Amino acid sequence: MENLLEEIVATGSRIAILDISGVPAVDSLVAQHLIKTVSATRLMGAECIISGIRPEIAQTVVHLGIDLSNIITKATLASALKYAFQLLKLEVKKNANTFF
Amino acid sequence: MEKIPILKMGRFLLVTIQVDLYDRLALNLEADLIQMISKTEANGVLIDISAVSIVDSFMGRIIGNIASMSKILDAYTVVVGMQPAVAITLIELGLPLKGVLTALDVEKGMELLRSLIPASSAEEEVSDDYLI
């Protein structure tokens, strides 16, 4: 959490994407820590998106009774990035002037 | 007696806290700020806490109070430049500061305030010309 917050200050980033696709299991402590990290990011003035939540993890989180409704969650890193671009009003498009 | 300056910038008030807050100072700031908002009819308040390195639950509550009081007087509150350690402390204290807007630095905070305040209040003077 501290590393993320320090990096947000250093780079002046508006959005942080937290990809947890490599996390095999989540318990209540980990989930609580994720919520704390997202809240702390918000306090700093940035937005935090959690991506790569696997179905098993979604299931456990709901079974543990943890409320993630006020946290932006996306299924994949790609959709999180797409959402981040939308938030920053950026778009990726083909450049007509280059020949490849 | 130390005092924290409150600067008027157009339709916004700018408060930069350059010293570590103690309880008395924070309470005075709260009172001064609310007086100032009603006097200047400001639409937004920007509080820069980048130099604040220590917070406790009392300080967190004061910031929350300022935000809810400003809301009643129709002004948005944006807290900018919060240090990572301060953010972690507030979260661990269970104070996520609901209702307080945040930004990374003064520049981004100003941008946020400008986007929040409806353009109609800025165009009031211009609108007279169209009526003629």
Quote the distance between the C-alpha of residue A17 and its chain's center: 3
Q: pTM for the whole thing? A: 0.79
Select the more confidently predicted residue: B124 or B84. B84
Predicted confidence at residue A98, as pLDDT, reads 73
DSSP H or E segment with residue B30: helix B23-40
DSSP H or E segment with residue B46: strand B44-48
- The answer to whether the Cβ–Cβ distance between B96 and A9 falls below 8 Å is no
Mean predicted lDDT score pLDDT of chain A: 91
- Give chain A positions within 8 Å (CB) of B102: 42-45
Instruction: For residue A97, name the pLDDT band (cuts at 50, 70, 90).
Output: confident
Q: Are A9 and B103 in contact (CB under 8 A)?
A: no
Mutate to test the interface with A, among B50, B77, B102, B108 (most CBs of A within 10 A): B102
Residues in chain A: 100
Measuring CA to CA, how many Å separate B11 from each of B23, B29, B31, B36, B104? 28, 19, 19, 12, 21
Work out the average pLDDT over B11-34.
Answer: 92
B92 touching chain A per CB within 8 A: yes
Burial class (CB in 10 A: 0-12, 13-18, 19+), B132: exposed
- Give chain A positions within 8 Å (CB) of B103: 45
Could you give the ipTM of this predicted complex?
0.71
Q: What is residue A96's three-state secondary structure?
A: coil
- The answer to whether the Cβ–Cβ distance between A42 and B104 falls below 8 Å is no
Task: Identify which of B88, B91, B102 has the shortest CB distance to residue A45.
Answer: B102
Predicted confidence at residue A92, as pLDDT, reads 87
Query: pLDDT tens across A38-84, in order?
Result: 999 999 999 999 999 888 898 888 888 888 888 999 989 999 999 99
Which candidate, A40, A56, A43, A55, places its Cα nearest to that of A4?
A40
- Token pair of B14 as six digits: 């700018």
- pLDDT score of B119 more than 80: no
- Token pair of A79 as six digits: 């959709």
Measuring CA to CA, how many Å separate A28 from each of A34, A52, A62, B37, B108? 10, 18, 10, 43, 35
